[in-house]
Amino acid sequence: MSEDVLNNLQNTKNQSWNKYNDIITKPSSRVINMQQNSVHNQIICQPITSENVHSLRKINQSVFPVSYNEKFYYDVCETHPRELSSMAYMSGHVVGAICCRKEVLDSENFQYITPKSYPQHRPSQQQYQQLLQNGNSAKDSNLYNLNQNNFLIPPPVGRVYIMTIGVLDQFRRHKVGSILLQQIINQCVDDYTVDKICLHVHVRNEGAIIFYQRHGFRIETLVEGYYRRNKGVEPPNAYLLQLDLRINI
């Protein structure tokens, strides 16, 4: 690969990365702001495991009008990437949780699916710069694959889907949801196999829509009949909200 091509790739990545830093706030600053505006102790986020999943059940039972089966909790602990789900603690008590899964695009059906095994992470920004600086030695790296013409081919790109995010009523004004969501955003920015984060929101849930828009999400499309199996949900329609992470890459 010529030096000019490598320089162009590096400049493009650096410009895009700077855009991410302009719109992404790291969790540490959000924790500090929360402490200044709240009488509660610092919010601590911890992974969801088989040892504490019972607390997730209690959160879901308190927050959501639907019940989640055992497969949901098993997948959170054992199937989906552990860094994509966490619970928020205040003074040692669980006050909220977020659960996500990673999906990849099925090239045959053009639909996002949950794979049995997840693709390898792309390099971080630091790793990517080192990859470019090494020039031809990149061919020996397992961060990228090489096709028959010796071009670097990135691993499959997918999305992260937010399955649930919930906060106990009495803590909904303390930025718990924002901290949980921002933690996932930061994880996805560092994972080059993810180019977007998305979720479905009921069309009349204006509070949730505004919340996600504050974090950079936009309404991608209207999904009619999304809640048709949920009795009493009228209208049964949802918006697909999406946060694009790889702008102009």
Report the CATH number that the domain containing residue 70 is assigned in CATH: 3.40.630.30
pLDDT classification of 246: cutoffs 50, 70, 90: confident
Determine the structural domain holding residue 123 and report its residue range.
Answer: 3-139+162-194
pLDDT of 4 reads 53
In a domain, 87, yes or no: yes
Q: What is the mean pLDDT of the chain?
A: 75
Whether the predicted pLDDT of 27 surpasses 50: no
What amino acid occupies position 110? F
- Compute the distance between CA of residue 192 and CA of residue 2 in angstroms, rounded to an integer: 23
Q: Give percent of the chain with pLDDT exceeding 70.
A: 62
In a domain, 218, yes or no: no
Q: What is each CA distance from 72 to 3, 100, 129, 158, 163, in whole angstroms?
A: 49, 11, 38, 21, 10
Span 32-79, pLDDT tens digits: 233 333 334 589 999 999 999 999 999 999 998 888 999 999 999 999
Are the CB atoms for 173 and 208 separated by under 8 Å? Answer: no
pLDDT of 149 reads 52
Q: Among residues 88, 85, 46, 249, which one has the least CA distance to residue 179?
A: 88
pLDDT of 177 reads 96
Extract the tokens encoding 162.
């937010």
Q: Among residues 140, 150, 246, 148, which one has the least CA distance to residue 193?
A: 246
pLDDT of 75 reads 94
Whether the predicted pLDDT of 24 surpasses 70: no
- Compute the distance between CA of residue 170 and CA of residue 150 in angstroms, rounded to an integer: 57
Q: Which of 4-18, 49-63, 108-122, 180-194 comes out lowest in average pLDDT?
A: 4-18
- Compute the distance between CA of residue 227 and CA of residue 200 in angstroms, rounded to an integer: 10
Whether the predicted pLDDT of 248 surpasses 90: no
Number of domains in the chain: 1
- Compute the distance between CA of residue 227 and CA of residue 238 in angstroms, rounded to an integer: 7
Segment 134-160 shows an average pLDDT of: 54
Whether the predicted pLDDT of 211 surpasses 90: yes
134 vs 31 pLDDT, higher one: 134
Cis previous bond, 119, omega within 30: no
In a domain, 211, yes or no: no
Q: Which of 22-31, 74-83, 145-154, 216-225 comes out lowest in average pLDDT?
A: 22-31
In a domain, 80, yes or no: yes
Helices (H), the chain: 3-23, 27-37, 53-63, 70-74, 125-133, 176-189, 206-214
pLDDT of 210 reads 97
- Compute the distance between CA of residue 164 and CA of residue 64 in angstroms, rounded to an integer: 9
Q: Which residue has the tokens 């790889």?
A: 246
pLDDT of 193 reads 82
Whether the predicted pLDDT of 164 surpasses 90: yes
16 vs 245 pLDDT, higher one: 245
In a domain, 123, yes or no: yes
In a domain, 239, yes or no: no
In a domain, 11, yes or no: yes
In a domain, 210, yes or no: no
- Compute the distance between CA of residue 167 and CA of residue 96 in angstroms, rounded to an integer: 4
Residue 45: strand pairing partners: 88
Q: What is each CA distance from 199 to 5, 25, 49, in whole angstroms?
A: 37, 20, 23
